[in-house]
A and B are shown apart, each in its own frame.
Chain A
Amino acid sequence: MNGLQISYFEASARKRLSELVDAGSLVEFCPPEMRQTSPHLAMLDAPLAFDDGVVTGRASLSGHKVLIAAQEGRFNGGAVGEVHGAKIRGLLDRALSERPAAVLLLIDSGGVRLHEANAGLIAISEIMRAVLRVQAAGIPVFALVGGSCGAFGGMGIVTRLCTEVVMSEQGRLGLSGPEVIETVKGVEEFDSRDRALVWRITGGKLRRALGEATLLVDDLIPAFRTAAAKLIERYRAHPPVPADLDELLGAQAELTERSVRFAAARDGREIWQADFAEASRVPEMTVAEFNALLGEAA
């Protein structure tokens, strides 16, 4: 750590990794030297990356062994193709034999890579099942969402399957991106260029208020590191157990309640108004203030 405040949002996947884990501890699996590139991008004369847009490896974080994957949002929007998806799935499979303290997924992805859409869709469903297997084995999986592509499409579902979801205010989480909705349904439905609106629908504070994100942190790599380290400690004491019937009936009731309570809502403001005395101040609140007020509200 060099004392500079490093924005998680601005950093590349490799930069995030290097600052997140203990210095020099990262051992990469299927590294760029192996040049496991996408033949499907090559077939379409599209640019390639030697890591196919995702770094996978083992590292230590505060001395604890973790397996970790980091998607590179600058390459094809972090989208999941055959090789990219298989690397993440392989990492999750590896967790079953290596039994790390946690698996960390640094998600920065618009979802399926259209150039290899069928492979990407199947790969994401394989990742979903693998995340559940790892959790069922008592190993927590943490999603970190704070990159420029957010977590959308199938990766938005994967994120919500994780044991914990750490987000920054700048992070975005959803299923269909604003651009897709605008293209299909029109600008009146969702103006994707209205950045404040996009943020109020998909951003970290909204997701945290709804409980979709479990922790909101500042847009700094050390803040994500601190949060991950705390979560690792917490889950070492209490490993995750797969959801049973009662827990899922409870989740069903909560999700139903949310859909009834906000049956007509189309803007994050309506959700903040329900949670915060001074809803109009939410956008300008610091993360610390927001978390404190949310704690009081809860």
Chain B
Amino acid sequence: MSNLLVENEQKDVDNKKKIDKKDLNKVFWRSHMIQGSWNYEKQMGLGYAFSMIPVLRKLYKDGSPEMAEALKRHTELVNVTPQCATFMMGLSASMEEEKLNNPNFPVETINSVKVSLMGPLSGIGDSFFWGTFKVISTGLGINLASNGSILGPVMLLITYNIPSFLVRWFGLKIGYKTGNSFLEKLASSNIMDKITFGASIVGLMVVGAMTASMINLKFALEYSNSYDTISLQSILDSILPSALPLVSTIFVYWLLRKKVSVNWIILGIIIFGVLSSYIGLFKI
């Protein structure tokens, strides 16, 4: 037993840590292109292999059966929030390296870890990038752009891409260095749930605020007598400002829940607009 250990340790000294910073940097840049050949069959599979190739080349010789095995492994189906894919790649890289150093390493785990990660990683990734970062950055961008300012699109790009870059960069490093233990630690301490819940809170509050400030719909009805003009809208505003935007958002949400298709809703909104322009019930 101890002999075996010594032998393994000796091997470790010989060939562990073949992957260096440069290789990981290549993986980082390539990972941006993970969706380049997106197809319904294996989804991001080929893109994943493409991103892993710098690491694989370091470990295996081109044209060797080992390389063939590795390439096959990494062209299997993958689908994950693109920014989070690098974490999986870092993990795969460290496992490929370990496989080389340790002949007893169960090869199947490389892919089974990938498969087991896709769900939870996408869960966090989607709620962060689509539900929170994108909502906030578009909100800020639109705010500035509605005056016609070029800062609008610039703001959108900056605020979205900073977290995007950080997650990609550190995801890869953390995935490679700490491997699976990092995620196990996260899972056992509920931190994942907390983070996702927190992200949803921020996202939804911003959506709520946008509902109040970015939808334009007002009653056009006015009642005038010789003394005064009373508009329905000003009465409504004194009770609950932006009540119409709230009601219309909730109504559209209800339609979505009833599985009414988005295209019908859009058509409905356009017809509603034209009708109310002729009737004069609503204005912007």
A and B together in one complex: no
B contact residues vs A (CB 8 Å cutoff)? none
